[in-house]
Homo-oligomer: A and B are copies of this chain.
């Protein structure tokens, strides 16, 4: 299933390295890390069954909305990423929650500032052809969770 989740991410325009660079930029001021460390940590977040289920479910909803397969009223809300529609953030919490408070704080920060791939995906979604309502929050969740893991791991090594 992990392979499938990775394939889906790629098919929607997201590579592991797009997420790893986000992690690197979040944590480089706090820890002495390389992009390779970040890549490895993203991989380990992607191996968890909660992450896999969230990626597959979130992309499935995005694609269904993109193809107008859902009831028209909810399909419109999702497709247009309506500002008060908050289930995309909620779904992403299934990843964030597993990774502690540092993940939570960074999640909000990434979702608000939308750096790099998050902004690209978000803008592409808002053009109207593609729907990335759930995907952009999932990327925020994976990156912030990886950042939290790195912070915890570094702290343990110190002791």
Contact = CB atoms under 8 A, between A and B. Distances in A.
Interface of A: 1, 4, 8, 30, 49-50, 53-54, 56-57, 59-61, 63-64, 69-71, 73-75, 77-78, 83-91, 93-94, 97-102, 104-113, 151-152, 155
B74 A100 contact: no
Number of copies: 4
29 contacts: A49-B84, A49-B152, A50-B86, A53-B74, A53-B84, A54-B87, A56-B74, A57-B61, A57-B87, A64-B70, A69-B69, A83-B102, A84-B100, A86-B100, A86-B101, A87-B91, A89-B101, A89-B105, A90-B90, A90-B94, A91-B91, A94-B100, A97-B98, A105-B112, A108-B111, A108-B112, A109-B109, A109-B112, A109-B113
